[in-house]
Amino acid sequence: MASFTLMRELGKVVPNQYTIETKAGIIPIEVQPKRIFMNQQPSEFFEKIEKPELSEAIDISAVNDNFDIQVVSKGGKDILVPVNINELNALNPNWQAIATLSEQYGVIGMHVFGLSETDIVCRNFAPLYGINEESATGTSSGALACYLFTKNIRRQKEYIFQQGANLGSPSEIVVKLSVNQQDEIIGVNVGGAGYVDDVKSLEVI
């Protein structure tokens, strides 16, 4: 996403359809005038987790009992954790406990989210991989969109997720779903509006 944002700003690519070759395969990219979108496959759903299992990792009194805590994959597995939105920013995660839980379930980390009438706000913790908290997580956002749609929690064709404001690096992640006539998800496009923060020259000797 960042690479295509930079190439667009440098005039190396124009709004069009492209592909990028990654370890996950060849992935379609859509470059728009303001946004970049990456195509992903629909999510896979795995085991549900009981709230007490998170007790060492976060304050489980903040967990929203109306929705499942579940392992969902968009190429990499995450534990999706619904919490009350007014308690989301106050969470004080235990990084070691989250890393241990991540090893136990074979996941990258925890993607914690809260819903208001109008907003969906997220925090992402992946200390097992050296990232205590991330300000923008595209794959986890794609998984969350599939979760919300599939479980009929908030069924939309386009989602906007807010993340990173508590880190001083606010991001807005857009997820667009393609569905068939049976309302089954057949495509996921994750993107947003990147920007170039700084440019430096590298001299190769």
Query: pLDDT tens for residues 97-120?
Result: 999 999 999 999 999 999 999 999
The burial class, CB within 10 Å (0-12 / 13-18 / 19+), for 203 is: exposed
Chain position carrying tokens 């386009």: 158
d(CA 192, CA 160): 9
d(CA 138, CA 63): 23
| pLDDT for 50 | 97
H or E segment and range at residue 102: helix 95-105
pTM value?
A: 0.90
Phi, psi of 34 (to 5 degrees): -115, -20
| pLDDT for 179 | 94
Which residues, given as ranges, of the chain have pLDDT below 50?
none
d(CA 48, CA 36): 33
147 contacts 141 by C-beta, under 8 angstroms: no
Domain 2-192 has CATH 3.10.310.10: yes
